Amino acid sequence: MAILKVAQIGHPILRQKARPVTRDELHTHAFQSFIDSMIETMHDANGAGLAANQVHEAVQVCVMEVSDNPRYPYKPKIPLTILVNPVLTPLSETKFENYEGCLSVPDLRGVVRRHVELRVQAWDRHGNPIDAEVRGITAGTYQHECDHLAGALFIDRVEDPRTLCTWKEFARQHEARFREHVKEIVEHYGS
């Protein structure tokens, strides 16, 4: 295991479409160790999630976990989740506004519209099938991470650039209102 270097916006790896992982490579010691390093890197950076492109490997793997996260104190908890070759399908056209940030986009946040209900199909780290529904703020995190695997960043989806702000100004100007918004979504969708 190791803490990996996180690619920053401008590095071409973040714009590369990640390739699917084969079952054979998933089962190798090297690949399992890479997944462990991704988890360690996410924890070290206090990220809510991390996609393989962000650590310079364009393969379809992302990891997510939210417990008591100092970067996102209002986010509902997500147990440690590893998705291999994920496919997301929206379950409705309903979207919500999410104030997002990214370890690869330093000191910037912006409002992105995300589907509020999704079906996720993927493998877990051992190749077992995952077929689940995710809702609410958590669905936003899933979409953010899967966008990385398609070579997209949250800023590509910011419809109103006037919502862009530093983390300091987010805390000063927007956080209180956004926390209320998050509370309503969590009350409605349970996550």
From the list 21-29, 62-70, 95-103, 158-166, the region that binds Zn ion by CB under 5 A is: 95-103
SS3 sequence of 120-147: EEEECCCCCEEEEEEEHHHHHHHHHHHH
Judge whether 145 counts as a catalytic residue: yes
Residues near 76 by beta carbon (within 8 Å), at least 6 away in sequence? 66, 136, 137, 138, 182, 186, 191
Amino acid, single-letter form, for residue 145? E
Q: Which run of H or E residues covers position 35?
A: helix 29-44
Least distance (Å) between residue 143 CB and Zn ion? 11
Our finding on whether 4 is near Zn ion (CB under 5 A) is: no
Our finding on whether 102 is near Zn ion (CB under 5 A) is: yes
Our finding on whether 18 is near Zn ion (CB under 5 A) is: no
β-pair partners for 88: 120
Of 40, 117, 145, 184, the active-site residue reads: 145
Our finding on whether 42 is near Zn ion (CB under 5 A) is: no
One symbol per residue from 53 to 92: x for binding Zn ion (CB under 5 A), - otherwise; what is it?
Answer: ----------------------------------------
Binding site for Zn ion (CB under 5 A): 102
Q: Which residues are marked as active site?
A: 145
